[in-house]
């Protein structure tokens, strides 16, 4: 179908089967040092079961974690000029790209997919830190723009999972130009009246934060994520001081008003769904008929509305609810999820 | 009449490393002139005019040759030259009735970004730019042109004012980058830059940017998402400083790779014109803008006037659309 499935898939299978040896069935948590069984880690979406440390996730793992039933369609991304500056340091840039592609089986740092999030069609872009530090080059910039265009065309909310160490230096000024370009992408989504939600993951620093990652309608950060414009090392070198504990971490940004919430990865899908729901399904309020409202539990075990609430409040249906369809505004009822 | 340009208070001409041979010739000519003055006052006049002319001619040729083939790293040094005209010099010379406006109405008045109302060739405009300062004291006041969030928020405030009164915006870019400090991060440096870029891009009035010295990364771009972007001939515009790039890509190289990084990143006005990122280059006097400030001011004024003439009368929607189209086209065409 796309570049990956055509080229990289067979190769990867070989690597995976080799990797599946007892030595690699355990991962050491970078934070607490605990050995975690591989399968448990995958089930916990790479959150350490003993200390809650949020390890990095690949875009595919993100898509699976976010979309209803883990189902989505990847959106084909435009090709960009390869190595326009003919850049080389110790290695040629084209060789670095090759290595990153083999390692991640991605063409560049950002993947885009569309799928249902609690029944609401949503476009999601995910930046992969494993691909040259998630750096924002022309391909990543085009991917963010492509995602925005797709969201506008489908009248769908746009969610971006940001993760980057900074600019793609090998693309020089063309990398910097992705700041205004992705900012335009955000403007297009907002002008279309669609929600634009940013999830800041570890780490999100540099130019990415000075553009689309800080222009969300709602900012959600994962616990402990490093988020900032200047990297901690640069700041330390400039001010010649040690940085305070927790500086530029998600919780610090929450305290300083830069993000709306810090959300545990296991609650992320629910939170995203709820925020988007509140922003797009503006008319699910209805006068209570006195009929009992079912406890609309999602597959994640999160309750939408409880029967006791229904007694004194007008019944409010969340998108995952199995409540009577006639209460939903007629124009929205068709987006109700079958996957939840 | 506009006041003449006041050169920054440099007791002696500052020469860059690569200008040493020029410095020597100019020094010899000056020494000879001094000596002849002394001898004349002692009643022993000697004719040195010819020799001085010879030395000065040689210096001029060498200067011209050198500046015709500056390397990217040399251009970086010229762009950072302490005597290079800065924001305030251009404003003094090009803007009448300049009325500086201060503060972000929230936290502080960041002096690394200055701005205000004024009149350019008769029309009211909003002018905004980084100011590096010209001596030790003013450099500290202006934080060497490295803005904190309040600087960008002041810029946003002034751009919004321009929009409300339908005034064109002129920005002059000259910064090593946004200031990397604890307070700056605490108060949302990234958000401030993103918002400023966003406001530039959404302006319903013409905005023209000129990189007059250093265009350092996001801190520069925040004022330069414009309908027209120009660079002075020896200015630079980069995603990271050559020093920063070298330290990341060649760790431990300890400055030895800075020149390579400057070249590899393609940071010169000429590079950016080739990459179709800027709309034009403003030629500098031989030896750089600081050697003949009046000329560079006049040329810059003419460039701004031409650009404004092209943009005036366009509807807010067209101005926005054209600006967007211009930035979206970057990298899509003409890179081979
Ligand atoms: Zn742990």
Kindly state whether residues B26 and B102 are assigned to the same domain.
no
Among candidate residues B25, B54, B69, the one where a domain is terminated: B69
Query: Per-domain residue ranges for chain A?
Result: 18-55, 57-279, 283-340
Mean pLDDT, chain A cut into blocks of 10 residues (340 residues total): 42 44 76 93 95 96 98 97 91 95 97 97 98 97 98 98 95 98 98 98 96 98 97 90 93 97 98 97 68 45 40 38 38 38
- In-domain check, residue B5: no
- Determine the Cα–Cα distance for residues B61 and B47; give it in Å rounded to an integer: 23
Query: How far does A162 lie from chain B, in Å, by closest CA?
Result: 14
For residue A28, the CA-to-ligand 1 centroid distance in Å is 8
For residue A269, the CA-to-ligand 1 centroid distance in Å is 22
Give the number of domains in chain B.
Answer: 2
For residue A13, the CA-to-ligand 1 centroid distance in Å is 29
Q: Which of A88, A187, A231 has its CB closest to that of B201?
A: A187
**B328 vs A183: CB contact, 8 Å cut-off?**
no
Structure tokens at B188: 């949302």
- Determine the Cα–Cα distance for residues A139 and A78; give it in Å rounded to an integer: 8
- In-domain check, residue B58: yes
Give chain A positions within 8 Å (CB) of B328.
145, 181, 184
For residue A31, the CA-to-ligand 1 centroid distance in Å is 5
Contact call for residues A125 and A164 (beta carbons, < 8 A): no
Decide: residue A276, CB within 10 A, 0-12 exposed, 13-18 middle, 19+ buried: buried
- Determine the Cα–Cα distance for residues B242 and B262; give it in Å rounded to an integer: 5
Residues 252 through 281 of chain A touching chain B, CB cutoff 8 Å: 256-258
* Omega prior to B156 cis, within 30 of 0: no
Kindly state whether residues B167 and B274 are assigned to the same domain.
yes
Kindly state whether residues B51 and B127 are assigned to the same domain.
no
Which among B133, B284, B159, B132 is positioned nearest to B222, based on CA atoms?
A: B159
Which among A244, A245, A252, A195 is positioned nearest to A228, based on CA atoms?
A: A252
The domain made up of A57-279 is a member of CATH 3.90.226.10? yes
- Using the structure block, give the residue that is written with the tokens 């723009």: A145
Name the strand (E) or helix (H) holding A218: strand A218-221
Give chain A positions within 8 Å (CB) of B221.
176, 179-180, 210
- Determine the Cα–Cα distance for residues B34 and A234; give it in Å rounded to an integer: 48
- Determine the Cα–Cα distance for residues B266 and A295; give it in Å rounded to an integer: 61
Q: Which residues pair with B209 in a beta bridge?
A: B171, B229
Q: ipTM value of the model?
A: 0.94
- Determine the Cα–Cα distance for residues A14 and B8; give it in Å rounded to an integer: 67
- Determine the Cα–Cα distance for residues A14 and B200; give it in Å rounded to an integer: 50
Kindly state whether residues B32 and B152 are assigned to the same domain.
no
What pTM does this model have?
A: 0.87
Count interface pairs A-B at CB distance under 8 A: 169
Q: In a mutagenesis test of the A interface, which of B155, B201, B217, B331 is the best target, namely the one with the most A β-carbons within 10 Å?
A: B331
**A81 vs B249: CB contact, 8 Å cut-off?**
no
**B189 vs A229: CB contact, 8 Å cut-off?**
yes
Give chain B positions within 8 Å (CB) of A214.
188, 190-191, 194-195
Domain around B161? 76-329
DSSP string, B20-61: HHHHHHHHHHHHHHHHHHHHHHTT-----HHHHHHHHHHHHH
Residue B94, number of CB atoms within 10 A of its CB? 23
Kindly state whether residues B63 and B141 are assigned to the same domain.
no
The per-residue pLDDT for range B187-207, each reduced to its tens digit, is: 999 999 999 999 999 999 999
3-state secondary structure of A53: coil
Kindly state whether residues B60 and B171 are assigned to the same domain.
no
Judge whether A82 is closer than 8 Å to chain B, CB to CB: no
Kindly state whether residues B160 and B58 are assigned to the same domain.
no
Kindly state whether residues B53 and B157 are assigned to the same domain.
no
Judge whether A1 is closer than 8 Å to chain B, CB to CB: no
Judge whether A85 is closer than 8 Å to chain B, CB to CB: yes
- Determine the Cα–Cα distance for residues A108 and A129; give it in Å rounded to an integer: 10
**A84 vs B275: CB contact, 8 Å cut-off?**
yes
Kindly state whether residues B56 and B194 are assigned to the same domain.
no
- What region, left, alpha or beta, does residue B19 occupy, with left being phi > 0 and alpha being psi -120 to 50 degrees? alpha
Which among A98, A103, A96 is positioned nearest to A19, based on CA atoms?
A: A103
Kindly state whether residues B56 and B97 are assigned to the same domain.
no
- Determine the Cα–Cα distance for residues A206 and B324; give it in Å rounded to an integer: 23
Contact call for residues B155 and B209 (beta carbons, < 8 A): no
- Using the structure block, give the residue that is written with the tokens 């040195």: B48
**A215 vs B195: CB contact, 8 Å cut-off?**
yes
Q: What is the pLDDT of residue B333?
A: 81
pLDDT band for position B45 (cuts 50, 70, 90): confident
- In-domain check, residue B8: no
For residue B251, the CA-to-ligand 1 centroid distance in Å is 30
Chain A, nearest residue to B262 by Cα: A172
Q: What is the pLDDT of residue B125?
A: 98
| A4-13, B156-165, B305-314, B324-333, range with the lowest pLDDT | A4-13
3-state secondary structure of B133: coil
Contact call for residues B284 and B303 (beta carbons, < 8 A): no
The per-residue pLDDT for range B107-163, each reduced to its tens digit, is: 999 999 999 999 999 999 999 999 999 999 999 999 999 999 999 999 999 999 999
Residues 13 through 32 of chain A touching chain B, CB cutoff 8 Å: none
Kindly state whether residues B136 and B44 are assigned to the same domain.
no
Q: What is the pLDDT of residue B336?
A: 57
Q: Which of B181, B225, B266 has its CB closest to that of A238?
A: B181
Q: What is the pLDDT of residue A305?
A: 39
Kindly state whether residues B154 and B40 are assigned to the same domain.
no
- In-domain check, residue B298: yes
CATH assignment of the domain containing B106: 3.90.226.10
DSSP string, A108-143: SSEEEEEEEETTEEEEEEEE-TTTGGG-B-HHHHHH
Q: What is the pLDDT of residue B4?
A: 52
Q: What is the pLDDT of residue A14?
A: 41
- In-domain check, residue B62: yes
- In-domain check, residue B336: no
Q: In a mutagenesis test of the B interface, which of A167, A183, A244, A255 is the best target, namely the one with the most B β-carbons within 10 Å?
A: A183
- In-domain check, residue B335: no
- Determine the Cα–Cα distance for residues A211 and A144; give it in Å rounded to an integer: 11
């Amino acid at each position: 179908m796309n570049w990956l499935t055509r080229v990289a898939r067979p190769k990867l299978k070989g690597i995976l089967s080799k990797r599946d040896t007892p030595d690699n069935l355990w991962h050491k948590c970078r934070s607490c040092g605990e050995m975690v069984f591989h399968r448990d880690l995958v089930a916990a979406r790479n959150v350490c079961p003993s200390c809650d440390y949020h390890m990095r996730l690949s875009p595919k793992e993100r898509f699976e974690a976010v979309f209803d039933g883990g189902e989505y369609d990847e959106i084909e991304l435009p090709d960009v000029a390869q190595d326009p500056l003919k850049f080389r340091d110790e290695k040629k840039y084209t060789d670095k790209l090759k290595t990153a592609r083999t390692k991640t089986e991605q063409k560049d740092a950002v993947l885009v997919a569309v799928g249902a999030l609690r029944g609401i069609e949503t476009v999601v872009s995910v930046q992969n830190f494993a691909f040259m530090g998630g750096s924002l080059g022309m391909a990543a910039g085009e991917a963010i723009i492509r995602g925005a265009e797709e969201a506008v065309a489908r009248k769908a909310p746009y969610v971006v999972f940001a993760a980057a160490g900074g600019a793609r230096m090998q693309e020089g000024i063309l990398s910097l130009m992705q700041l205004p370009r992705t900012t335009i992408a955000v403007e297009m989504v907002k002008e279309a009246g669609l929600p634009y939600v940013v999830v800041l993951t570890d780490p999100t620093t540099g130019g990415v934060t000075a553009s689309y990652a800080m222009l969300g309608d709602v900012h959600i950060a994962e616990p402990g994520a490093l988020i900032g414009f200047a990297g901690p090392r640069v700041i330390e070198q400039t001010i010649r001081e040690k940085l305070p504990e927790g500086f530029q971490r998600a919780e610090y940004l929450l305290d300083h008003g830069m993000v709306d919430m810090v959300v545990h990865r296991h609650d992320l899908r629910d939170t995203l769904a709820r925020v988007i729901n509140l922003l797009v399904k503006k008319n699910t309020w209805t006068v209570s008929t006195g009929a009992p409202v079912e406890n609309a539990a999602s597959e994640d075990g999160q309750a939408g509305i409880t029967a006791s609430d229904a007694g004194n409040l007008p019944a409010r249906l969340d998108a995952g609810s199995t409540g009577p369809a006639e209460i939903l505004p007629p124009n929205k009822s068709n987006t109700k999820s079958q996957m939840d | 009449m506009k006041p003449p340009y006041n050169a920054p208070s440099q007791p002696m001409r500052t020469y860059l490393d690569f200008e040493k041979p020029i410095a020597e010739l100019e020094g010899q000519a000056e020494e000879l002139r001094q000596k002849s003055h002394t001898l004349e006052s002692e009643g022993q006049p000697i004719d040195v005019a010819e020799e001085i002319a010879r030395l000065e001619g040689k210096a001029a040729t060498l200067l011209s040759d050198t500046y015709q083939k500056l390397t990217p790293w040399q251009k970086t040094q010229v762009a950072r030259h302490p005597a290079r005209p800065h924001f305030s010099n251009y404003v003094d010379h090009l803007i009448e009735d300049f009325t500086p406006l201060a503060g972000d109405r929230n936290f502080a008045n960041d002096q690394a970004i200055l701005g205000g109302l004024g009149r350019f060739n008769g029309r009211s405009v909003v002018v905004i730019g980084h100011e590096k300062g010209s001596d030790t004291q003013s450099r500290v006041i202006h934080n060497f042109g490295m803005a904190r969030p309040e600087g960008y928020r002041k810029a946003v405030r002034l751009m919004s004012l321009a929009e409300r009164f339908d005034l064109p915006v002129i920005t002059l870019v000259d910064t090593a980058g946004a200031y990397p400090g604890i307070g700056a991060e605490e108060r949302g440096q990234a958000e401030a830059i993103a918002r400023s870029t966003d406001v530039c891009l959404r302006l319903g009035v013409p905005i023209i940017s000129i990189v007059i010295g250093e265009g350092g990364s996001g801190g520069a771009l925040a004022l330069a998402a414009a309908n027209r972007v120009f660079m002075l001939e020896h200015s630079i515009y980069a995603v990271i400083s050559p020093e920063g790039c070298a330290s990341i890509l060649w760790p431990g190289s300890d400055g030895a790779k800075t020149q390579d990084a400057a070249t590899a990143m393609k940071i010169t006005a000429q590079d950016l014109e080739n990459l179709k990122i800027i709309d034009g280059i403003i030629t500098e006097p031989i030896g750089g803008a600081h050697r003949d400030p009046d000329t560079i001011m006049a040329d810059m004024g003419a460039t701004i006037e031409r650009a404004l003439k092209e943009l005036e009368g366009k509807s807010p929607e067209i101005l926005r659309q054209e600006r967007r189209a211009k930035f979206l086209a970057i990298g899509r065409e003409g890179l081979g």
